Amino acid sequence: MALIQAARGTQLRCKGWRQEALLRMLENVLENGENQKELLVYAALAKAARDWPSYEAIVKALRTMEEDETLVIQSGKPIGLFKTHAFAPLVLMANCNMVGKWATSDNFYKWQQEGLIIWGGLTAADWQYIGSQGVLQGTYEIFATIGRQHFNHDLRGRFILTAGLGGMGGSQPLAGVMAKAAILAVEVNEARIDKRIAAGYLQQKTDSLDAALAIIREAIERKEPVSVGLLGNAAEVYPELLRRGIIPDIVTDQTAAHDLVYGYIPRGYSLEAAEAMRRDNPDRLKADAGASIAAEVKAMLAFKAKGAVVFDNGNNIRTQACAYGVEDAFSISIFTEAFLRPLFCRAIGPFRWIALTGNAEDIRIIDDYILTHFADNSIVTNWIGLARQYVPVEGLPARIGWLGHGERTRLALAVNAMVADGTLSGPVAFTRDHLDAGAMAHPNIMTERMKDGSDAIADWPLLNAMLNCSSMADLVAIHSGGGGYAGYMTSAGVTLVADGSEEAALRLKLTLQNDTGLGVLRYADAGYEEALDEADKKQIRRIKLEQA
């Protein structure tokens, strides 16, 4: 099988740049993905398409469709092309959405095996994944916030312990170094460690805990940042550190703990043994993985009791541990509520843009524009400086930047103008993570402990998707959880193409304003003062009910 890479340059294979952009985004998630042969992008199960015939059919549809048609995709399988109009979305997707009581991991595995469904992750099946950079700033902002809250704004000489170096967790070592900490990342799959080193996200590798700790100790003494990948199992390493009396300053985990069959590798298992058990006795594998997660989380709780800052990084590890007997697992904080919710209240979140021609100079030009025209935004200007220094290019050149309501629109319209006047070499795609203000309902991650108790209300991401369709976005997707996430979440994704046209400017303006506007109102509706303030300041038309 030929290796898939996103096309570069300005030559079109499709009938317009909107279609070409989405095709390149599809190719890009596979170029950046974990297992291209299986169409797997990240998180053990998140796929770009249902199977290879589906992938080929999607490519053919994108290459031949007109601008006034809409491609409909169901769980990674193209269903049909429909005549709509030139301002309608080019692609509509629904991935892994199951009905109520049927939304279980067992049903997901059954229907996946029968070829009826895939899990799209958050950004895999809707072609928005840009490599580990996609969550890098969010991880950095978490570490930086912990530094401000607990360590007098300074993580130099501090020890971060984490695990997991897959498509999401692979951002952690670089984020730790950018925050000036010494970070140890435990990973059971040596190929993932090697991949992060090759990509520039990880500095050192060892299979010895003693050697890893020696590197960490030296960095702490010198107050120098360092990242170390330790080949090992977190369910064994975390308790061993505890036994030795070594208490990190910060502890988390970003393994594939959400999935007990295809994700988390139990203690005592090799990768090959897990693969064999997955085939021969998946129930035994699930039980062993659950017991291992319980052991790891018990160690995390013990670290917390001894003074470490411990948090769940969004992989359902507390949920799994609770199911396997760790009753106080949820005394560990979730990262969104603990560190990021004030930003989400103002719809400040993980916005991203991709240079579709493959020209990294386009990203540099946009960086310069941000540093000049968003100089009063310390979050994004600080980030751009760090990203230029540390973040390598993966696949098509891209950048993430946490921007809020109005800011995303300003940037996108400016970029569209730069495409039009030739300042940039070609069109730019704009998208965001699903973990955004109005785009996700997940009671154990994004919406845990909402002020009004609306944690599990899934209307918001559905409204977000419908509003973005009404606003003429180029691609709109609705996702729900698969594997161990089944029944736990619903989210919405959106992609827009800045091709320099007046029509693109209209799409960008309407979609980005409405996407973030709804995000502000979601938190305002829940009673958050920051969101109410943002709605008033930005003149978002919130409907206020008259009280009897």
Binding residues for NAD(+): 167-169, 187, 192, 233-234, 254-258, 264-265, 483
8 Å CB contact between 155 and 147: yes
Task: Name residue 517's amino acid.
Answer: G
Please tell me the distance from the alpha carbon of residue 312 to that of residue 447, in angstroms, as a whole number. Answer: 13
Q: Which residues contact 454 (CB under 8 A, 6 or more apart)?
A: 447, 525, 526
Please tell me the distance from the alpha carbon of residue 429 to that of residue 107, in angstroms, as a whole number. Answer: 35
Binding residues: 167-169, 187, 192, 233-234, 254-258, 264-265, 483
Q: Locate tokens 């691609």: which residue?
A: 475
Phi/psi region, residue 180 (left: phi>0; alpha: psi -120 to 50; beta: rest), is left
CA distance readout (Å), 207 to 204, 213, 267, 426, 538: 11, 11, 15, 45, 52
Question: Which two tokens mark 300?
Answer: 């995390």
Please tell me the distance from the alpha carbon of residue 131 to that of residue 194, in angstroms, as a whole number. Answer: 15
Nearest alpha-carbon partner for 196 in 176, 216, 166, 224: 166
Q: Locate tokens 């709605």: which residue?
A: 535
Judged on CB neighbours under 10 Å (0-12, 13-18, 19+), 145 is: middle
Please tell me the distance from the alpha carbon of residue 196 to that of residue 497, in angstroms, as a whole number. Answer: 30
How far, rounded to the nearest angstrom, does the alpha carbon of residue 494 sit from its chain's CA centroid?
Answer: 13
Please tell me the distance from the alpha carbon of residue 365 to that of residue 363, in angstroms, as a whole number. Answer: 5
CA distance readout (Å), 243 to 211, 237, 239, 299: 17, 10, 6, 9
Please tell me the distance from the alpha carbon of residue 232 to that of residue 240, in angstroms, as a whole number. Answer: 11
Nearest alpha-carbon partner for 226 in 205, 242, 247, 245: 205
Nearest alpha-carbon partner for 28 in 41, 19, 12: 41
Residue 274: strand, helix, or coil: helix
Sign of CA pseudo-dihedral 82, 86, 90, 94: negative
Question: Which two tokens mark 155?
Answer: 């993580």
Half-sphere exposure of 364 (CA within 13 A, CB side): 8
